[in-house]
Amino acid sequence: MEDAMTTLTPGESQPGFTELFAQLGLPNDEASIQQFIRQHHPLADDLQLHDAPFWTPQQAQMLKEKIRCDDDWAIVVDQLSLALRKAPELHK
């Protein structure tokens, strides 16, 4: 089985929040992800995602590295950053 940290090649599935949260060591079911976003929203526009105070040093470093690699993981990290900055969508 491939390591989840392996860079994805074209044609493979784009990682999503579920995979990112698993990589961060956080609960990665939909309800937990939505709760995390609600809990940490709003993230200030002038604060980089990896500098947010709620990450452990290891989580912050991982996020920083994923953005620096500028691959498919960077896309999902950017999506998380946006989700934490905009009004959360509340599902009934």
The model's pLDDT over 19-73, given as tens digits with 9 standing for 90+, comes to: 999 999 999 999 999 999 999 999 998 999 999 999 999 999 999 999 998 788 9
Write down the domain spans for the chain.
Answer: 17-85
CATH of segment(s) 17-85: 1.10.10.1130
Helix H, strand E, coil C: the string for the chain is CCCCCCCCCCCCCCCCHHHHHHHCCCCCCHHHHHHHHHHHCCCCCCCCHHHCCCCCHHHHHHHHHHHHHCCHHHHHHHHHHHHHHCCCCCCC
Residue 37, pLDDT score: 94
